[in-house]
Amino acid sequence: MSVPVPVPGPPGLPLIGNLNDIDATDGMASLSRLADTYGPIFKLNLGGVDRLFISTHELMNEICDEKRFSKALSGPLEQIRNGIEDGLFTAYPGEHNWEIAHRVLMPAFGPISIRGMFDEMHDIASQLVIKWARFGPKEKINVTDDFTRLTLDSIALCAMDTRFNSFYHEDMHPFVDAMVGLLQESGARARRPAVATYFMRSAQQKYDSDIALLKQVAKEVVAERKANPSDKKDLLNAMIKGRDPKTGEGLTDASVLNNMITFLIAGHETTSGLLSFLFYNLLKNPAAYQAAQKQVDEVVGRGPIKVDHMSKLPYIEACLRETLRLTPTAPAITIQALPDSAGDKISLAGGKYVIKAGQPIICLLPKIHRDPAVYGDDAESFIPERMLDEPFSKLPNNSWKPFGNGMRGCIGRPFAWQEAILTTAMLLQTFNFRFDDPSYQLHIKQTLTIKPKDFFMHAMLREHVDPVYLDKLLHVDSSKEGRWTEKERKIESTVSLGKDKKPMHILYGSNSGTCEALAQSLARVASGRGFHAQVERLDSVVGMVPKDQPVVMISSSYEGQPPDNAAHFFEWLQNLKGGDELEGVKYATYGCGNHDWVSTFHRVPKLLHSGFESHGATQIADLGLGDVAAGDIFDDFDKWQDEQLWPALGGKGDAEDEAGIEIEVDTDLRRSKLRQDVKEAVIVSNQVLTAEGVPEKRHIVLQLPSGMTYKAGDYLAVLPINNQRNIRRVLKWANLPWDAVLTIKTGANTTLPTGHPISAMDVLGAYVELSQPATRKNVTRIAASAADESVRSQIMALAGEDFEKEILAKRRSPLDILEEYPSATLPLGDFLAMLPPMRIRQYSISSSPLADPTVATLTWAVLDTPSKVADSKRYLGVASNYLSSVEEGDRIHVAVKPSHGAFHPPNDIENTPVIMFCAGTGLAPFRGFIQERAMQIQAGRNLAPAYLFIGCAHPEMDALFKDELAQWEKDGVVQLFYAYSKASDLSKGCRHVQDRLWAEKEPMVEVFNKGAKLYVCGSSMVGEGVASMTKRIYQDSVEANGGSKSDEEVESWFQSIKGERYASDVFV
């Protein structure tokens, strides 16, 4: 037996122990970070008690042995005894009342009893369906609130024959608020020293009143049943009338009340969380969504869902299991070691650790359920197929434990399972869903359980079922009734059209806002062409593509994947069967892409275009494709619509006629409105990293807003503000004072705020791109506003043969042209209509949350070069200069954007080496990787080796983080290989990282053969250089072993490792 080692953990402070190591609002995130730092087991002192935490299946499997370990009551669960005493979930091991209640109540959750509850479950679920149907597709649904109403009403009706009628009241039932208060304060009491509670009188008073309300509700339910007895075989009668088959005893009055409250809490709180997480996962994973909905359609059809269907929906069950794997709603269970013959010292992990009998061991289920030893490298991904019946049955013992362990496992599991399957099936049968915010990332709200925070979605009736007839559809097989007729659909779709204007649908898929801006621009042009255009996200028309009007799709690709707000539409289209589903649809497609992503260039728009054609739709115009890396995407789009789309549609109007934006100017009122998709971060520091004489690179430290989390390798999106010099230029051109206020008419096709006053400074600073090059159409419109014929001719020349040389090459903006030709009298509304919306800029985060989860850092290059338009002007990168100007204490607007799955440190860090390549600020994500490794090694973990290849100009000029990296190399965190382009004699004669890779190829091949993962970050030149060298080394290695590979075979090999063992993040 090996010599025992101490259990690792962070040092605590006097009196409070490790209280500061746990975030009170999201404790599980803190514990997960500590597990990432310290490994499979660590120790914290909380509330004066040493507690152990485990995070691997191997340890979980050991402590599930009920001969050696038992459930422990500690922490928040022990505090909840203040409210429900010795109820089923809060009883100490061996308590007499628990034994009686367990034996009496088990039959109430048997298969026959649960089956008998189906009609009542269906009744409550129908109320939810009807509510969402009557809300309509525009209503924002608070997902967790409505699922809480559903599950509370279900357990009350099914188990106690009591109706809380939560769907008929605006506010939640008071029981919910009291329950949340009990859970939150119990959690807080568990974290702080016991003595502190005596000084928190207001918290104690609320705690006592919450407990009193819970008991009062339970007493009223029991009193009602006793006053009006029934023979119903429900849970309440089992508690009142049941007798223990072993002792003949019944539950005491106090035990009835305690277990009443227990079931009302446990019976709804965890299931509402499960359903909320499930719909988040389905919306984030369109393939799973489509598969689940397809199974409902095949098994149930359009008729009512019946109890016999519950066992015929295996894919929905798999989705529920996978949801509970990733986000178990009761995220931790506590175990304790039982004394053995050797005394109070118990060995763990084959003697590696020695612990005390009775010491609490908290099992971190979200980490245990993600153990790569069980679930592989894709353990973080939502993949329901791994939870289908056959693979689920082959999982190792105790690798999936969302319902607890052994005798103390969840008694109500069958109830929750039937309720979750029924609800999911009914909702997918009736609605199509989409995120309210397509970029929403999961945030957690935690009490004793966890739920999604700020999760909203929209529900659209499928196949145009009218909500008036929905109640009938839920209970009677009327699949041929309750649909809008084609005539009714046409009336509905044209109700808001202007006089003599034909309908048109413009559908976009956009993450950064570019394609949305193109859609709004096209809608404005359409108005002048005799069309009334409705602009919507692609996801909003899943299964409902209009057939009585032209449909124009505008979409981008992101590494070959659809934008967030087009993902469900794309998946739906990919899964259509047959060749005539879209017959009658007339469509055109325009795609945006970046040629740096060679293998996936324009993949999504091409598949949208070909998918419509293959399913019977009629093409209006040839597929249009624009390249954001090659030229001006806005001008390319104008050219496509003028030469392809409008000639095909035959819209009347002037080709140069684009509706402006109607605005009112008020110079007496000021008001600002901030964007809603970002939150405020505070600048901690902002420093220059480079010496004078080389392009400036900077490093900024940000205090993140509360609740914002990230992983090493993620991006931070920044919503910049235009440089003040450029804003003043517009105000000067437009003859506006600095405090002018604009009111943009409601209904304008624009992404600008409409219908209320907003300051001109805000519009020009935060909402539009002032430096975007003009399009030919912009130039033509400006020319038309010039009264002088000679001036008009000069401007028009810029839209002709000189366009690429004078506009694109010099990046000449509409503002540049208007300043150059002051006699052009373009209205302000027309000028604003030319400008695309302000885009967020994504930067790789250059830190790790293991160092400090509340802090993120960015490392970037500042773009400030002479303008090609005029020597007196500068071309300023919008975001890079904005960031360079902020100071300590300033606030900026940010949002975390996850990087693609492969661009994170490997899951199995002990056994997977990493090789990283970068140049310049491409170092940013790898600083985060290495900082994370440093924290883990400092905590005592043994990691596989890491190698970093860095390209820069000179060690004394722009070697970023040189001293910090050197210290990490000295500490054994990473091995460094530099390539200096202007001092190659100091880097083995290598000027670029790919050259240095060739110089170090022999040891790197050896590391690669041991399972290393390769990461690349930098410009497209870095990406192409490292990729080419990787292929060359592979071919060289094959030849060294007597083999040979053709160029095609080498490329095939390289493609096979991309995404799995080779991840790149290349920027323009």
**CA 494 vs CA 498, 507, 542, 549, 702: distances in Å:** 9, 17, 20, 10, 49
| CA 915/CA 197 separation, integer angstroms | 51
- Residue 495 pairs in a beta bridge with none
Phi-psi region at 900: left, alpha or beta (left = phi > 0; alpha = psi -120 to 50): beta
Query: CA-to-CA distance for 89 and 371, rounded, in angstroms?
Result: 27
838 DSSP 8-state letter: P
CB-based contact 861:697 (threshold 8 Å): yes
The CA dihedral of 659, 664, 669, 675, to the nearest 10 degrees, is -20
Pairing of strands 975-980, 741-744: unpaired
**Sign of the CA dihedral 395, 398, 403, 406?**
positive
Residue 988 CB contacts under 8 Å (≥ 6 apart), including other chains: 996, 999
Alpha carbon distance 380, 907 (integer Å) = 9
Residue 939 CB partners (closer than 8 Å, separation 6+): 8, 37, 38, 39
Q: Which of 1032, 1028, 1036, 1039 has the alpha carbon at shortest distance from 1064?
A: 1028
Tell me the backbone φ, ψ of residue 951, rounded to 5 degrees.
Answer: -105, 130
The string of DSSP codes covering 231-248 is ---SHHHHHHH---TTT-
Q: Is 403 known to be catalytic?
A: yes
Cα–Cα distances (Å) from 66 to 93, 394, 407, 1000, in that order, read 12, 22, 9, 53
Residues in a beta bridge with 50: 45
d(Cα 568, Cα 396) in Å, to the nearest integer? 34
348/341 Cα distance (integer angstroms): 15
CB count in 10 Å sphere of residue 883: 22
Q: Hey, what are 301's tokens?
A: 């059809």
709 flagged as catalytic: no
Task: Indicate which residue of 158, 319, 363, 410 is catalytic.
Answer: 410
Locate 838 and state its tokens.
């302000």
Q: Which one of the listed residues 167, 392, 403, 601 is annotated catalytic?
A: 403
CA distance 237 to 246: 19
Where helices occur in 578-680 by DSSP H, the ranges are 603-614, 633-640, 646-649
CA atoms of 925 and 712, how far apart (whole Å): 7
The DSSP element (H or E) to which 373 belongs, if any, is helix 372-375
Residues linked to residue 715 through DSSP beta bridges, in sequence order? 844, 897
763-777 burial, b if ≥16 CB within 10 A, otherwise e?
bbbbbbbbbbbbbbb
Of 418, 329, 412, 429, nearest to 128 by C-alpha is 429
Is residue 531 part of the annotated active site? The answer reads: no
Query: Among 144, 270, 514, 859, which one carries the catalytic annotation?
Result: 270
C-alpha distances out from residue 265 to 277, 347, 795, 838, 913, Å = 18, 36, 72, 46, 46
Which positions are catalytic? 270, 403, 410
